[in-house]
Structure 1
Amino acid sequence: MMKRVFGRLLNLLFWIPLVLVFFSCSKNITPVDTAKKQPVEQKTTIAAVDSLTNPEQARAGNHIAFDTLIRPIHSGIPAVWKKDAVLCAKVQKKVMDYYTNTGYKTRWLGDKGPGLFFDELKKLLAQADLMGLRPTDYSLASIEDKFNDVYKTQPAIAAEVVDLDVQLTEIFFLFATHLQDGRVRNVPHNGDALWIRDPKPEKNVDVALLAGMREPEQLTGIVRTLQPAAEQYAKLQKALESYRALEKLEADEMPVNLSVKGKIKPDDHNAVIPYIRRKLSLTDLKVYAMPVDSTSGLFDSLLYDAQLVSAVKLFQMRHGLEPDGIIGEKTLKFLGQSFHEKADILALNMERFRWLPDERYLGNYIMVNVPEYILRVQENEKETLAMRVIVGAPNKPTPIFRDEVSYIVFSPTWTVPTSIIREEIIPRLRKDSAYYAQKNYAFFKDEVTIDPSSESWKDESINPYKYRIVQQPGPDNSLGLVKFGMPNTMNIYLHDTPNHRLFTKSFRALSHGCVRLDEPARFAEYLLRDQRGWGKENVAKAMNAGASSTIMLRKKYPVHIEYHTAWVDDKGVVNFREDIYGHDKKQLELLFPEKVSSVAGL
């Protein structure tokens, strides 16, 4: 009996430690939800740990995966952009590619609410005006209005969160496409002023960058990467930020149009002088104090004093005007532009950089800025040669396009365009049929040589297309001593001119459309610098040979004829130029359709 009791006691002593160990371990065992087959407490514990190390998950919760077969990606693009089918298709493809590459998971929103990625997107879109775009095009207000409804229950309904996330992604890619390709997709026809914009190849770099984003702060870098790489673009963006700030400082009482009778000269008195003094003080961030009358000792606010004259001269230089200190019609028009209008012009010129092909920033190229009347040779964004040019008159504008110089003609002939035969030569011959007798021209009618003095030019039904007129080589040739050929169908090229006095003028929109060079010999030497036998002496000899010779270039140089009415020079000075062909006015209406700009007269 005692032996049996003692045996049971030993068994009990053996099992007690095992039971204690079992119950101790059981405290760490997570109950299982048999319906979902998932650890109920484990999910809560992991979320709590992640919230300490992942601020995005703490804020937004878990990102939601979705099935596009059940929840197809739809278009949430604002109605204004739905009018542009090409743009909408481009954005929608990017959206689909993005979600495909990221496994169809929400980016901006989680099951708890919007995350830090959304905050960063919202901040960047609010600053779109500092990138030359309109924040209203990417308004998030309609989506944010839905947050309270979607997240009033926890967890939120997945399908509703997915819908909003897709709309945010569409807005991002709309913004990204504008940054890369421009908001104005098709440059409109502007009368005879042609602007030929080459289509840019499709690149989905924005899709790859967004898909690879891991931290919210990376979004700022992505937006910076998507914008043009040109150094000038970055300078314009900085200038735009300054002018947007100046908008807030500009006095409400500043008159829209500064009009005076005649001109204001140094030491004159005029009622607009106080406005000009205030405007230039804001522009230059420098106080131009009122002068004191030497006789009375009182302030003379209406006096156009020497200090203000110096400020006006600098203003005139920045606007491509003769820096004579005399305030005339064009100076007053530029002074009358508000900082708001100037900021819009800066934004427009940033937009134009988005239209340029990517190869524009690579290698060597030639750029003619029409409103500046300057040709520049660029090598890896560094200027190696610059000279003044004459461009097409407002009624015969130089087209904005890109081409390449492929050959040089020394001592060229000039075949007179039919438009000049009709508009200039025939009217002149009607007054004097012998006018061209000693002017080195050859006349052909139906390809037969004729004597122009024997023709009946007074016949009103005369057909100019029957005639071909060729000016022979020589110092008086309209093309000068050298022509630089480009193979375009518009018959636009670069050339010399017999009248170099015109290069001293500040307004040089004077040609029939082609671009005249002030230093054609230097330009020829540059183009031929890698071809043996074409040094300075041989170039000069060929130009004055009196007989035409054509030299094909071994290396063709890209030529970009562009239209920049605002830029920042190497000294950091913001420059503006006259809108000689009206491109600014037309394009500003598209870039900022809700605004009415007064640049029409400039």
Structure 2
Amino acid sequence: MTNKLPKRVRSPFLTFAFAAVGAAALSISSPVPATAQSTVSAFAQSVAEAAAREGEVAAFYRANGYQPIWTGNSAEDLSRRKALLTALSKAGDHGLPTVDLGDLKMRMANVTSVRDLGALEVELSTLLVDYAQGVSSGILTPSKIDSGIVRKINRKDGTDVLSGFASSSPAGYLKSLPPKNAEYGRLMREKLRLENAIQHGGWGKTVAAKKLKPGQSGDAVIALRNRLVRMGYLSRSASRSYDASIQKAVQQFQADHGLTDDGVAGAGTIAEINVTPEKRLASILVAMERERWTNFERGERHVWVNLTDFTAKIVDRGSVTFRTRSVIGKNVSDRRSPEFSDVMEHMVINPTWNVPRSIATKEYLPMLKNNPNAVSHLKLIDSRGRVVNRGAVDFTKFTARSFPFAIKQPPSSRNALGLVKFMFPNKYNIYLHDTPSKNLFAREVRAFSHGCIRLSDPFDFAYALLAKQSSNPKATFHNALETRRETRIDLEKHVPVHIVYRTAVAPAKGRVNYRRDIYGRDAKVWAALQNAGVALHAVDG
């Protein structure tokens, strides 16, 4: 949000006096000009000039005949000014850049010409559009931050913002803009809690130990105890040993941070305990921006995949009705799972794995060059759809670009996709699926795939989806499975799928959960927010 008023220009013909009324309103008075028509024309010209580089704002004023919505002396104009400045004064509550309202009010009080008045009219409209778009759908363009954040943002049209605001209750319109879901409100409360913690000195001395376990004592245990107390995981205690109460507090902390909850403070747990409240606050501000990116109707029933949490959930009317562990893309440049939304249309039981060309040429071609009979469970298919006799092929003459074959894996329990995949066709070739590699779901960090999302309980996931269209979803699924043939089952009602990346999640009950920034994306988002003018704030307690 930028201030664009020109320098003060004194006019011998007009004197405009601005005075604060209430929270931030403006009162305007002006003498009768030589001709009202000339003043209107001059005002229109000044608005047109000031809005020349603000396309949507300019379009609004062209459409309304350059009539002011801010700078008149009517009760409506006064109400709009008051509502906007009140909203801008609270922009920081939403983790948005703040406006120097003192400077803005000073310049409002020093308008001395029609030209100044027109510039002020446009500035207030521009501030409204910037605020409305920022608080409703975020201030950043995700795709400019990281190539894996391919989420499309639906910004409010500036002309629609101004028209809607001008024809509505100003305060009511501004109140309607932020996300209305409960998660956003809980994140705002956590923001306030962390700001208070920072104001009061943070969470105390960090824990200087590689590992602590029940029964131990010493300075590191005391530091652990004190930090857990200040974070709210432990009641005030004078215990100097790692007792049962500390163990229980550590277990709860671990559960809230996606760690193995064994009650032992190992290196990973201590690293998370030592994270500062400032860093947690940055995570909250990023989460709020991400929440604004998904400020749209998510679907009465939808699938919610949080990459950092390694989970996939089915949500019905706001409540999680199914949850399973997931494996996501490995943290290397060409395997990280992207963030986007699409719609699940069908599932494929006993799927064939059509090996992506990148995998075929980068991983399998080198193996075939060394041994034509390598990966014998895979079939090579030529351009006519025929299975290739490997013994008749000299693989050494092919490069990644010239390799002419497709590679497929027929349906089987050993298939890389397992026994079922869930399709929401998209240009990123990402889907949810089963896997024969079940051991990976026991890991704390589960980033191993080529980008698709593997599910720990795919059969149960399928039953839950089919329950909306089958009286016996389990039988429907297994009747197809037992054929051992590739079978497609369409979902009668398509289900939105949202693949998100949230390192801070505020559940309805319990404390806010935090997760590691496994792909480093939140660090990039936070840097971009800071560049846009967002700052950490402590509040007076």
Aligning the two structures, in what range does the TM-score lie when normalised by the shorter sequence? 0.7 to 0.9
Separation in 2 of the partners of 1:75 and 1:346? 40
Q: Secondary structure in 2 aligned to 1:365?
A: strand
The Cα RMSD (Å) is 3.7
* Contact 1:345-1:566 at 8 Å conserved across structures: yes
CA distance in 1, matches of 2:194, 2:462: 41
The CA deviation at 1:514 is 0.8
Alignment partner of 1:465 is 2:384:
no
Instruction: Identify the residue that residue 44 of structure 1 maps to in structure 2.
Output: none
Aligned to 1:89, which of 21, 45, 55? 55
The aligned residue for residue 52 of structure 1 is none
Q: CA deviation at 1:270?
A: 6.1
Pair 1:388 & 2:344 matched? no
In structure 2, what is the equivalent of residue 16 of structure 1? none
Q: Say if 1:187 and 1:587, in contact at 8 Å, map to a contact too.
A: no
| 1:145 match | 106
Which one-letter code corresponds to 1:73 in the other structure?
A: V
**Over residues 394-446 of structure 1, what are the superposed CA-to-partner deviations in whole Å (9 max), with x where a residue is unaligned?**
12111111222222211111122222223333444566554434x3x322355
Offset, 1:496:
1.1
Q: Report the equivalent of 2:40.
A: 67
1:281 aligned residue: 229
1:373 alignment partner in structure 2: 310
Contact 1:63–1:106 (8 Å) recurs in 2: no
> Any idea what SS the aligned residue of 1:483 has?
strand
Contact 1:63 / 1:105 at 8 angstroms: preserved in 2? Answer: no
- Alpha-carbon separation, structure 2, partners of 1:372 and 1:498: 21
C-alpha distance in 1 between matches for 2:162 and 2:251: 49
Would you say the 8 A contact 2:145–2:524 is kept in 1?
Answer: no
Aligned residues of 1:375 and 1:388 also touching (Cα < 8 A) = yes
Q: Distance in 2 between matches of 1:480 and 1:60?
A: 67
Change (3 A) 1:102 1:516: same
Deviation (angstroms), 1:122 = 4.0
Question: In terms of mean alpha carbon deviation, does 500-509 or 59-68 score higher?
Answer: 59-68
**Alignment partner of 2:417: what SS?**
coil
Partner residue in 1 for 2:128: 172
Change (3 A) 1:534 1:482: farther
Q: 1 CA distance for matches of 2:525 and 2:353?
A: 35
* Residue in structure 1 matched with residue 14 of structure 2 by the alignment: none
* Partners of 2:222 and 2:57 in 1: CA distance: 51
- 1-side partners of 2:488 and 2:158: how far apart? 40
Please, which runs of 5 or more residues in structure 2 have no aligned partner? 1-20, 31-35, 537-541
Shift of 1:230: 2.0
Inter-CA distance 458–318: structure 2 relative to 1 (3 Å threshold): same
State which of 261, 271, 277 in structure 2 corresponds to 1:333: 271
How far is the alpha carbon of 1:179 from its aligned partner? Answer: 0.8
Q: Which residue, 64, 70, 80 being the options, matches 1:106?
A: 70
Match of 1:196 among 151, 155, 160: 151
Q: Which amino acid aligns with 1:125?
A: L
Q: Distance in 2 between matches of 1:140 and 1:273?
A: 48
Preserved CA contact (<8 Å) 1:189 1:195:
no
Maintained 8 Å contact 1:76/1:170: no
Return the offset for 1:383.
Answer: 2.7
The reply on whether 1:487 has 2:420 as its aligned counterpart is no
- Aligned counterpart, 1:552: 490
Is the contact between residue 364 and residue 379 of structure 1 (CA under 8 Å) also seen in structure 2? yes
Q: Secondary structure of the residue that 2:139 maps to in structure 1? A: coil
| 1:551 positional shift | 2.6
Deviation at 1:347, TM superposition (A): 1.5
Sequence identity percentage:
25
Equivalents in 2 of 1:176, 1:576: separation in Å?
A: 29
SS at match of 1:399: coil
Aligned residue-pair number: 502
Provide the residue aligned with 2:294 in structure 1. Answer: 356
1:325-352, Cα deviation, whole Å (9 max, x unpaired): 2333432332232212212211211111
2:216 matched residue in structure 1: 268
| TM-score, with length taken from structure 1 | 0.73
CA distance in 2, matches of 1:328, 1:592: 33
Distance in 2, matches of 1:160 and 1:385, equals 59
Query: TM-score when scaled to structure 2?
Result: 0.80
Mapped pair 1:233 → 2:178: no
Counterpart secondary structure, 2:134: helix
Report the 3-state secondary structure (helix = DSSP H, G, I; strand = E; otherwise coil) of the residue aligned with 1:449.
coil
Q: In the alignment, which of 478, 483, 501 is matched to residue 563 of structure 1? A: 501
SS of corresponding position for 1:501: helix
Q: Deviations along 1:469-494, whole A, 9 cap, x unmatched?
A: 21111111111111122221222111
Deviations 1:524-555 (A, max 9, x none): 23333454686311311312321112233333
Structure with max Cα Rg: 1
